[in-house]
Structure formats: structure tokens, C-alpha cells
Chains A and B, each alone.
Chain A
Amino acid sequence: MKPSPESPAPAIEPEIETAHAEEFVEHLRRVTDTLPPRINIDAESVEQGLAKLVLTLIELIRRLLEKQAVRRMEGGDLAPEQIEELGLALMKLEEKMLELKEQFGLAEEDLNLDLGPIGKLI
């Protein structure tokens, strides 16, 4: 049903209200710095996207392993030597991930997937 010309919807102007503009501007600046300069799809960005996807999944698994290790440590499942060994292994895994991220030119915040209404993967 089209709006009647005799009773059109009132004109509305968006307003922005805050007493802390600098903080929100700083946040938005960080967000816009990560936006691509053009909206485009080409072979190079598809390859980069694939690297991001694979490393994101590895990062997810790595973090889950860390959480599981912490739970086991808290639960008293592990002897002190086992805690040390597990911690060293996870530390090396974290270092390897840092190397891979550097190799692909990815920052920590790049390794995530936005699942829309469900939220972010990590």
C-alpha cells in the first residue's frame, strides 16, 4: 500500500548523540583502516581469503586446545611434568602461528569469521 500524498510520512533526519566523540571516532578509524579500498573480487584476493580461512580454523583449534589444557591443569589431571610439556608444546604452536600470520601478512584480528547473527567464530 503506497503512502497517501495527503498524509506523507514525516521527514526524519538521523541524529548522532554522544558525549565521548573522540573514543568512538578512534574505534571507527580502526574499523575503516581495515576496509578494502575497492569492493572487488579477483584471483589474488580469493587466494588470500583461502589462506585466511585455513589459518582461522587452525587458530580456532589452537585456542580450543589451550582451553582444554587449562581445564585439565585446573582439574588436577596432569602431573607437573605433564603440565610443563603440554605448555611448551602449546607455546611452540602459538609461535608457529605467529610466523604463519606474518608470512601471509595477516594480523590477529584478521583470523576470524563473522557468522552474522550467531556472532564471530573466535
Chain B
Amino acid sequence: MFYVYCLSDEVTAEMLDGARGVAGCEPRLIEFDGISAVVSEFAETNIPVTREHVLAHERVVSRVLSHTTPLPFRFGTLAGHERLESYVVSQKSSLSLALERVRGAVEMSVKIIWNVEEAGQRAVELEAEAVAKVAATAGAGTKFLLEKRRAIACDELLKERAERLQNWLEKAVNDVVKEAFVQMEPAEKLFLAASHLVSREKLADYRARVEKARGELPELHFLTSGPWAPYSFSSLFS
């Protein structure tokens, strides 16, 4: 059984010199028709999610990333030689396209926290006024529906605000980003998580744009990170 880290058509054995992977094993390459899998030996059939293992995975993938952009597997991907070969060979053309898509680029992440109570406060106030007018004489069923109406109105307002902020962020980084993948959960404090595929030569410009955007809305709390291997732009084994 192998622990599988990533795929690349540019990785060389020298890039992995001295690296230590999961369970302290040395990663190596197995080539299948021009695409190499970075793997290490793994004796078990499942892998505990521990800090040590996750960091070992990230260490090997980052080592490759520092030289070239691979397609990373998610943490915990195990496969035998036959299954791995079958996957790479049968998916060769889509993997080649995927490698071309991420070539020379890295993933950057922007996460934003807002005060969800403040963001939805106006809807809450309006609804509370409406509910108070009828609640005194309303039965349990009517009160239930009025409360649901309040909650729905609040959700819709939050969604609208979240979409405005998503558009604002997109506009800020649009011309330095190759692709974006954005997840929004307006009802949560961490309401927006954006993954941006950025060419290596545009990284400095991207960072400057994000820094400028942070300054424009100080009431939002940002966490930016990267560069990472393009996990959000690879769909291996999916």
C-alpha cells in the first residue's frame, strides 16, 4: 500500500532529496506514462488523522510545490500500485489538462469573519416589530410561523450582504487571479472562504490587492494564507 501525496509531470527525484513523509518514510516517484505520483510506503489500510500525519503530508506536498505545481491529493489517500496505475493511465488526458490548468500557479486563501448579529440586525428589528403587533393574541402555530418568517427574512438579508461582499472581493483581485472558488455561509461568523489560483509571478501584486481590500473594510476580520498547492482546483479520485 502507498500513501499518495500528489501527481506531477515536472517533479524529479532530486526535488524530494532528504524529505520525510508520513510515518517517517521517504517519498519517491512512480511514473505512469509521463505523469509521476509522489508516494511513500504505508503498511496500514487506514490512517489516523493526527497532527503529525497531516504535517508530514503537507511537508512533502510543499516540498514539491517549492519547485513546481503538482495536483495534490487530499490528506489520507491510500492506494495500491495497481489501483494507482489504473487511475493515472485511464485519466491521463484529464490529468494532463488539470496539470496545465494549475501550471505555474499556486493557491491563495482568503477567509472573512463578520459580526453575524450586526449584519442581520435590521431584519431582526423589522420582524420583531411586526411580530409584536400580532403575537399577543396569536396561537402557538401562528407564533411558530411568525418566528420562521423572521428567521427567513434575516437569512435573506445576510445572503444579500454576503453576495455584495463576495462581488467586492472579486472586483479587488479579479485581474490577478486565474480562477476563484468561493464558499459562502452567510449565517455563520466565517461567512466567506475564497480560494484563488494565482500565477507565481502575480503573487506580490495579489498580496498587495488583498492588503488594500482589508484596509477598506476594517469591520471585517480577514485571514489570508498561502501559497498552497492547488487543493481547491484539483479533483483527484473524485
Contacts and interface: CB of A to CB of B under 8 A. Distances in A.
A16 B141 contact: no
Nearest to A117: B181
A37 B142 contact: no
Interface string B170-206: 0000000000010111000110000000001001000
Contacts of A90: 141, 144-145, 148
Q: Is the interface of B mostly helix, strand, loop or mixed?
A: mixed
A120 B10 CA distance: 35
Most chain A beta carbons < 10 A, residue from B66, B142, B228 = B142
Interface residues of A, number: 44
A43 B227 CA distance: 39
A119 interface: yes
Contact of A9 (B76, B142, B143, B200): B200
A87 B144 contact: yes
A87 B152 contact: no
Q: How large is the interface on B (under 10, 10 to 19, 20 to 34, 35 or more residues)?
A: 35 or more
Most chain B beta carbons < 10 A, residue from A9, A74, A119 = A9
Interface in A81-122: 83-91, 117, 119-120
Interface of B: 10, 12, 45-49, 62, 65-68, 75-76, 106, 111, 113, 138-145, 148-149, 152, 181, 183-185, 189-190, 200, 203, 221-228
Interface of A: 1-3, 8-20, 23-24, 27, 35-40, 66-67, 69-70, 73-74, 80, 83-91, 117, 119-120
25 contacts: A2-B10, A8-B67, A9-B67, A9-B200, A14-B62, A17-B223, A20-B222, A23-B113, A23-B221, A24-B111, A40-B45, A66-B145, A66-B152, A67-B152, A69-B145, A69-B148, A73-B149, A83-B145, A86-B141, A86-B145, A87-B142, A87-B143, A88-B139, A89-B141, A90-B148
